[in-house]
Amino acid sequence: MSDKSFDGPALSNTAKPSDGQGVSARSRVLRPFGYAGITIVWLALSTVVAGLVAVIPFSILQQGDLASSPGVENLSKDTEWLAALIALPIVALMFGAVICLLFVGSFSLFVLSLIAFTRSLRPSYAHEQLTTTRWTSDAIGPVRLGGVLAQTGAAPARYKDVLDKQSLSLIPVRRTRFSAFWTSVMFFAWVPSGSTILGGFWLGLAYLVTVAWATWPVTGPMVIVWAAVSLALTALGLRIVLRGHRANLARQFSQPTT
């Protein structure tokens, strides 16, 4: 596989098969089971994370509504309202991270796993490598001992015992618009930028505001007002994360790695 086939990033461990000799018969038989297992795991994780997002409104509705909940009634006493005000940005940031990183990251890997599983069943992909791995120092994950540092315009300089690399796996070798889109989504979650965190904060705040007015519940014309607030916060968050994601992809794809 060449860098051009993926529009940018130099990928590691990408041995391009030649004359149908790149994949053994044993691998062709076993890899559908492996990709099926990975697909199920990432689907389960995506479902669990989605449940975390739904747990707050579900808990509130189980008790009736937000306006009459004991927690809201206690806010008018002593200084609990101040503690809630201080905690709000932290909670918004937490849910922004859950939405932007955990859910998007796990769901994108579910889709990429599903792509690999589907291709593993197709005869047209039988003699080629289906997925590859990119090593990067910016990805979320445990630091790996050892690595290869590539130099632009020169042969790679190899170092031993360098703590600088994590892996991004399940990148489709044969590029299509669909697979490239979900690879980009995966990079968004697992190689986050500062804009991802900032935009995630506004998305988390949009989530909390929406849950608050929907479970209060707000009625009448104020529904339109609060819906507009939720949409404005969501639009602001998306604008920040998408702009930051484009810049982050351009930076990542310009870095040669092996």
Q: Which of 21-30, 69-78, 79-88 has the lowest mean pLDDT?
A: 69-78
In the predicted model, what is the mean pLDDT of residues 183-196? 83
Euclidean distance between CA atoms 89 and 226, whole angstroms: 19
pLDDT at site 234? 93
Provide the pLDDT confidence category of residue 106 given band limits of 50, 70 and 90: very high
The pLDDT of residue 166: 62
What does the DSSP 8-state code read for residue 193? -
Judged against a pLDDT cut of 50, whether residue 160 lies above it is answered with no
Asked if 105 and 133 count as a contact pair (C-beta separation under 8 A), the reply is no
Contacts of 2 (CB under 8 A, 6+ apart): 16
Q: Check: pTM over 0.85? Answer yes or no.
A: no
- How far, in Å, CA of 168 to CA of 119, rounded? 19
Q: 226-253, pLDDT tens digit by residue?
A: 999 999 999 999 999 888 777 777 665 5
Position 158 pLDDT exceeds 80: no
Element (H, E) at 6: none
Q: What is the band of 181 on the pLDDT scale with cuts at 50, 70, 90?
A: confident
Beta bridge partners of 172: 131
Residue 187 has pLDDT above 80, yes or no: yes
- Look at residue 193 and tell me whether its pLDDT is greater than 70: yes
Q: Which of 10, 9, 12 is nearest to 133 (CA)?
A: 12
